Amino acid sequence: MSDYSNISIGERIDGLLRERGISGSKMSTDLGMSRSFMTELRKGRAKGINAETAGRIADYLGVSVDFLLGKSPTPKVTDDPMERELAGYLDELRNRPEQRMLFSATRKATREQIEAITRMVEEMQKG
């Protein structure tokens, strides 16, 4: 991870995006925020950010709001295996459109339907 001490929120966001291989445009689209606002924020021209927006960006980038705002020197790191697993799933959903498609298609499915789909995918992977 890069050194994030003594830098602006825009510089933090840019660094985190680079580390994660995500474009600012993709983040704007994924978060449903205007690209112009995100550009202004990343260039340091935005005058402020509300708590909800800070929370959404921090969640998207996988860091704490305190870290994003420069109030904590290190991002939130957890030793909880469930949190790490969930973070991995979120990364998959962010970075793989086919995973988002599968998740979206099964959102309203019953447990039995999801289990059947899982078995079908497992069989397909066997060849």
Task: Say what the pLDDT of residue 97 is.
Answer: 86
CA distances from 30 to 6, 67, 68, 111 (A): 28, 21, 18, 27
76 domain residue, yes or no: no
Q: Are residues 91 and 60 in the same domain?
A: no
52: tokens are 């909800």
Find the range with the poorest average confidence among 22-26, 58-62, 77-81: 77-81
1 domain residue, yes or no: no
Per-residue pLDDT tens over the stretch 1-57: 556 667 888 888 888 898 888 888 899 999 998 889 888 888 878 877 888 888 889
Range of the domain at 18: 9-68
Q: Could you give the number of structural domains in the chain?
A: 2
Q: Are residues 14 and 47 in the same domain?
A: yes
Q: Are residues 26 and 64 in the same domain?
A: yes
What's the whole-model pTM score? 0.58
Per-residue pLDDT tens over the stretch 104-120: 888 899 999 999 999 99
3-state DSSP percent of the chain in helix, strand and coil, to 5? 65, 0, 35
2 domain residue, yes or no: no
Query: Is residue 79's pLDDT more than 60?
Result: no
Task: Say what the pLDDT of residue 71 is.
Answer: 83
Q: Are residues 31 and 63 in the same domain?
A: yes
Query: Is residue 123's pLDDT more than 90?
Result: yes
